[in-house]
Structure 1
Amino acid sequence: MATPIDEPAGTGRPARLRAALAESPPLLWSFLYFFCLLSGYYVLRPVREAMVASSDVTAVFPPALVEFFARRGVALGEFVPQFIFTSVFVAMLALQPAYGWLVSRFPRRVFLPVIYGFFIATLLVFHALFDSGVAGRGLAFVLWLTVFNLFAVAVFWSFMADVYSNAEARRYYGYIGAAGTVGAFLGPVLTGLLVQRLGIANMMLVSCALLAVCMLCILRLRPYAVQREQADGRRSGEVPMGGEVWAGLKLVAREPLLRWLALMVVLGIGVGTLLYNEQILIARSAFADAEQRTAFFSRIDLAVNTLTLVVQLLVTRALLSRFGIAPALLVPAGAVVLGFSVLAASPLPVLVAIVQVVTRASEFSLAKPARETIYTRVGREWRYKAGAAIDTVIYRGGDLVFVWMHKALSTLGSNLVFGAGIVIASAMTFSAWRLLREEAKLPSERPLPADAAGAAERA
Structure 2
Amino acid sequence: MSIPNSTQSSDQNPDQNSDQNPELSNKGLFNRLTQIEPCEMKGALLSFLFIFLLMTSYMILKPVRDALPSDWGDVSRATQWTYTFIFATIAVFIYNYCASKVAIRKLVPAVFVAFALSFMLIFSAYKLGVNVSFLGKVFYVWTSVFSLFHISVFWSFVSQHYSKLQSKRVFSFINTGASAGAICGPLSVILLAETMSIENVLVVTSVVLLLSLPIITILNRHFDSLHQTSNPNVAVSEQLQANPFTGIRELITHKKLLGIAGFIFFLTGVSAFFYTTQSDVLADFSRTERKQMLGSLELVTNTLTILLGLFVSNRIFQKFGISASLSFVPFAVAGLMLLLSANPAILFVLILVVVRRAGNYAIVRPAREVLFTGVDKEARFKSKPIIDIAVYRGGDVFWIWLIAFIGDGYLGFSVPEKIITGAFVAAMWGLLGFYIGKRHEKSEQERPEITPAQQPEVS
Q: Do they fold alike, i.e. is TM over 0.5?
A: yes
Deviation at 1:267, TM superposition (A): 0.4
Q: Following superposition of structure 1 onto structure 2, how do residues 167-206 of structure 1 map, counting pairs within 5 Å?
A: 167-206=165-204
Q: Is the alpha carbon distance of 1:359 and 1:133 closer, same or farther for their aligned partners in structure 2, counting shifts above 3 Å?
A: farther
Counterpart for residue 236 of structure 1: 236
Counterpart for residue 443 of structure 2: 441
Deviation at 1:14, TM superposition (A): 6.5
Task: Give the aligned residue type for 1:145.
Answer: T
Most deviating of 362-371 and 317-326: 317-326
Task: Give the aligned residue type for 2:57.
Answer: G
Identical pairs, percent: 25
Q: Is the alpha carbon distance of 1:397 and 1:27 closer, same or farther for their aligned partners in structure 2, counting shifts above 3 Å?
A: same
Task: Map Cα deviations across residues 148-199 of structure 1 (whole Å, 9 max, x no partner).
Answer: 1211100100111122222222221111111221111111001111231353
Counterpart for residue 369 of structure 2: 372
Task: Give the aligned residue type for 1:246.
Answer: F
Maintained 8 Å contact 2:35/2:169 = no
TM-score by length of 2: 0.85
Maintained 8 Å contact 1:40/1:206 = yes
SS in 1 for 2:284: helix
CA–CA separation in structure 2 for the residues paired with 1:148 and 1:253: 25
Match of 2:392 among 376, 379, 395: 395
Counterpart for residue 70 of structure 1: none
User: Is residue 2:144 matched to residue 1:143?
Assistant: no
Q: Following superposition of structure 1 onto structure 2, how do residues 315-394 of structure 1 map, counting pairs within 5 Å?
A: 315-394=312-391
Q: Is the alpha carbon distance of 1:311 and 1:104 closer, same or farther for their aligned partners in structure 2, counting shifts above 3 Å?
A: same
Task: Give the aligned residue type for 1:254.
Answer: T
SS in 2 for 1:195: coil
CA–CA separation in structure 2 for the residues paired with 1:263 and 1:278: 23
Task: Give the aligned residue type for 1:275.
Answer: F
Most deviating of 397-406 and 219-228: 219-228
Question: Tell me, which stretches of 5 or more residues in structure 2 are unaligned?
Answer: 1-14
Task: Map Cα deviations across residues 385-406 of structure 1 (whole Å, 9 max, x no partner).
Answer: 1111110110111100110111
Most deviating of 162-171 and 355-364: 162-171
CA–CA separation in structure 1 for the residues paired with 2:277 and 2:186: 21
Q: Is the alpha carbon distance of 1:155 and 1:19 closer, same or farther for their aligned partners in structure 2, counting shifts above 3 Å?
A: closer
Question: Tell me, which stretches of 5 or more residues in structure 1 are unaligned?
Answer: 56-76, 449-455
TM-score by length of 1: 0.85
CA–CA separation in structure 2 for the residues paired with 1:376 and 1:154: 14
Deviation at 1:91, TM superposition (A): 1.0
Task: Give the aligned residue type for 2:245.
Answer: W
Q: Is the alpha carbon distance of 1:88 and 1:27 closer, same or farther for their aligned partners in structure 2, counting shifts above 3 Å?
A: same
Deviation at 1:220, TM superposition (A): 0.7
Counterpart for residue 94 of structure 1: 90
SS in 2 for 1:325: helix
CA–CA separation in structure 1 for the residues paired with 2:97 and 2:234: 22
Task: Give the aligned residue type for 1:236.
Answer: V
CA–CA separation in structure 1 for the residues paired with 2:141 and 2:267: 21
Counterpart for residue 150 of structure 2: 152
SS in 2 for 1:205: helix
CA–CA separation in structure 2 for the residues paired with 1:447 and 1:20: 14
User: Is residue 2:130 matched to residue 1:134?
Assistant: yes
Counterpart for residue 313 of structure 1: 310
CA–CA separation in structure 2 for the residues paired with 1:152 and 1:237: 23
Task: Map Cα deviations across residues 115-151 of structure 1 (whole Å, 9 max, x no partner).
Answer: 1100111121222334566321111111211111211
Task: Map Cα deviations across residues 196-247 of structure 1 (whole Å, 9 max, x no partner).
Answer: 1353321222222221121111111112333455647887342x21143232
CA–CA separation in structure 1 for the residues paired with 2:74 and 2:33: 52
Maintained 8 Å contact 2:326/2:433 = yes
CA–CA separation in structure 2 for the residues paired with 1:200 and 1:361: 27
Counterpart for residue 111 of structure 1: 107
RMSD between aligned residues: 2.7
Q: Is the alpha carbon distance of 1:13 and 1:317 closer, same or farther for their aligned partners in structure 2, counting shifts above 3 Å?
A: farther
Task: Give the aligned residue type for 2:420.
Answer: G
Q: How many residues align?
A: 426
Q: Following superposition of structure 1 onto structure 2, how do residues 269-308 of structure 1 map, counting pairs within 5 Å?
A: 269-287=268-286, 289=287, 291-308=288-305
Counterpart for residue 12 of structure 2: none
